[in-house]
Structure 1
Amino acid sequence: MNRLLLALALLLPPLLPANAQAPDAVAAVPERLRGAWFAGDCAAPAGMLALSARAAARVPAEGPARLLRFTEARQAAGWTVATGRGAEAPRLLLRPAGEGLETAEPANKLRDDRLPGDAPVTAWRRCAATPLAFASQGEGVAFLGSVEVLEAACGPGIGSVPDCAAAIVRVGDVSGDNLLGTAELARLFRGAAWLLSIQSEAGPELAGLAGGAGALGGLAAARVVLESLDYDGDNRLSARELAQDRAALATVGEARGRPLALERLSDGIAVLRGVVEGLMGAD
């Protein structure tokens, strides 16, 4: 449930004040290198590498997966050197090799002029069709790029509430009607569940299980979001509904009347919170 709530927070991120410091612009992974790559024969790949503008998800056929989210990408010694978040600042080296891709992960202290050093170089290829063993990762791979769109529109000091709401609709809209239905919201939650499982270095079976759990948890979360924000009752969410009460903070009030003792409502609120937490399965 904690992951589900985190995914909900990710899809509906709070906007910081306009004077909040925005993250520094970073050079992205070259566009021609983005997408899904596979190691070995396409009939039975040994692993998948999914590259977005600022992230890499490596999912082996066996063993734990790994997620790197890049703070910068630069050119050195013929490689694109993408540096990941974290105290160790891991680096992933990328370079095109004909129609394929080569990667390496050098030691942290290795100088740029000695890249790639003794690090083994892995060859990757495109596959004309997604190998069946990795088909269940598709929604997660799509969300790997979607979360970057949301960060760009909803991040600190970057976007506005209308921009953020429009971005949520843009990354979630599958049918092309510029609205979000239950299935489209559930797809976003399933993708978020996959991303969280990869971040925790889950194996491919657990990553697939996270997507399966997201099918249930994501559907429940989608219904909660839809029923909470569907003001016109059409069973779809628009950018306007997502931005309701958030794009412009306004309150008018009424001069007549007397203040009530709101503290008396605390018992009722506590009961209501207990009911909601029970329905959501909170600890």
Structure 2
Amino acid sequence: MRCLLLLLGLLAPGLAAAQPAAVPEALQGAWFRGDCARPDAMLQLTPRAAARVPREAAGRLLRFATMREAGGWIIGSGRGPEAPRLMLRPAGEALETAEPEAKARDDRLPGEAPVGRWHRCAVVPPAVAALHGEGVAVMAAVEHLEADCGGGGTAACLGAVMAQADVSGDGRLSAAELARLARGMAWLLAVQEGVTEEKLAGALAAGALAGQLAARLVVDGLDYDGDGRLSPAELAQDRVGFGTARGQAEGRPVHAEAAGAGLAALRGLLDGLSLLK
């Protein structure tokens, strides 16, 4: 369950915060710089985020806390002391972007920031799709999870996790489906940390191994019926309807010296579980 919770909190600056205006639908999706057969960089835009992954320079991941229009530009700003900004504007069938410095005044944007130009690719090279596909999918999934987990309650949030992760559509989560989320998270973390595209493959390989193990542990830890997959009920166990277990009035604290065989066995079990922490 821990990797699911990490997914919810990975990029969310505050699930309860008001949703900012979105990147226009016409600008969403993948943009490229350079030859489509071997792009120099990719820019992926979702309604409230941007991931820029150059082949040789540092990547960047930006979540938009606010968005506004000024001087023909759409300006998305992130949170944090420097409030990083990304400027977008359509240019015919192309897209122009600028990333102003933190000290640049709002009334003088884009300032000295260079303007980059991006284009669509009718066919994405298989190598690009293989490297970025799962990360881009999870990047979009995070926004769906934020929308459903920002105040809809535990049941709605777990339902959103199931909807986003259930690739097979069978209503249950397998270790492979959870591992896919973990690989996507590894992509997001790597881009957030500024790796180049050339180093991204290595980061994803390491993340895939760790993700496979984490996914197996999650399934093993929550698969109460032993079918090798997680049902909505298993995800919700002890989480939906929190605090409804009331105990029994006839129960009384038992002194250790008066413990019977049953209580001694229970204590032994709890002691054993503590060794697994």
Q: TM-score range by the shorter chain?
A: 0.7 to 0.9
Which of 38, 48, 67 is the equivalent residue of 2:32?
A: 38
Which residue pairs with 1:9 in the alignment? Answer: 5
Q: Report the RMSD for the aligned CA atoms in angstroms.
A: 2.6
Paired residue secondary structure (2:61): strand
Cα distance change of structure 1 residues 76 and 242 upon mapping to structure 2, 3 Å threshold: same
Q: TM-score, normalised by structure 1?
A: 0.83
The structure with the larger Rg is 2
Which of 40, 65, 74 is the equivalent residue of 1:80?
A: 74
Q: Give the fraction of aligned pairs with identical amino acids, expressed as a percent.
A: 55
Instruction: Summarize the alignment of residues 78-157 of structure 1 with structure 2, pairs less than 5 Å apart.
Output: 78-135=72-129, 136-155=131-150
Paired residue secondary structure (1:24): coil
* Unpaired runs of at least 5, structure 1: 14-19, 278-283
> Does residue 1:211 correspond to 2:219, yes or no?
no
> Does residue 1:184 correspond to 2:177, yes or no?
yes
Which residue pairs with 2:250 in the alignment? Answer: 256
Aligned-residue offset at 1:177? 2.1
1:207 counterpart letter in structure 2:
L
1:144 counterpart letter in structure 2:
M
2:60 and 2:253 map into 1 onto residues whose CA distance is 55
1:89 and 1:75 map into 2 onto residues whose CA distance is 16
Paired residue secondary structure (1:233): coil
2:51 counterpart letter in structure 1:
A
| Cα pair 1:140 1:190 within 8 Å, conserved | yes
2:180 and 2:231 map into 1 onto residues whose CA distance is 16
Paired residue secondary structure (1:150): helix
| Cα pair 1:173 1:179 within 8 Å, conserved | yes
Cα distance change of structure 1 residues 270 and 196 upon mapping to structure 2, 3 Å threshold: farther
* Unpaired runs of at least 5, structure 2: 257-263
Cα distance change of structure 1 residues 266 and 118 upon mapping to structure 2, 3 Å threshold: farther
Paired residue secondary structure (1:138): helix
Paired residue secondary structure (1:75): strand
Q: TM-score, normalised by structure 2?
A: 0.85
Cα distance change of structure 1 residues 26 and 261 upon mapping to structure 2, 3 Å threshold: farther
Which residue pairs with 1:280 in the alignment? Answer: none
2:142 counterpart letter in structure 1:
V
| Cα pair 1:11 1:168 within 8 Å, conserved | no
| Cα pair 2:51 2:61 within 8 Å, conserved | yes
> Does residue 1:243 correspond to 2:236, yes or no?
yes
Paired residue secondary structure (1:163): helix
> Does residue 1:199 correspond to 2:195, yes or no?
no
> Does residue 1:61 correspond to 2:52, yes or no?
no
Cα distance change of structure 1 residues 261 and 185 upon mapping to structure 2, 3 Å threshold: farther
| Cα pair 2:135 2:184 within 8 Å, conserved | yes
Aligned-residue offset at 1:57? 1.0
Which residue pairs with 2:261 in the alignment? Answer: none
Cα distance change of structure 1 residues 21 and 73 upon mapping to structure 2, 3 Å threshold: closer
Which residue pairs with 1:281 in the alignment? Answer: none
Paired residue secondary structure (1:142): helix
Paired residue secondary structure (1:37): strand
1:36 counterpart letter in structure 2:
A
Aligned-residue offset at 1:117? 2.6
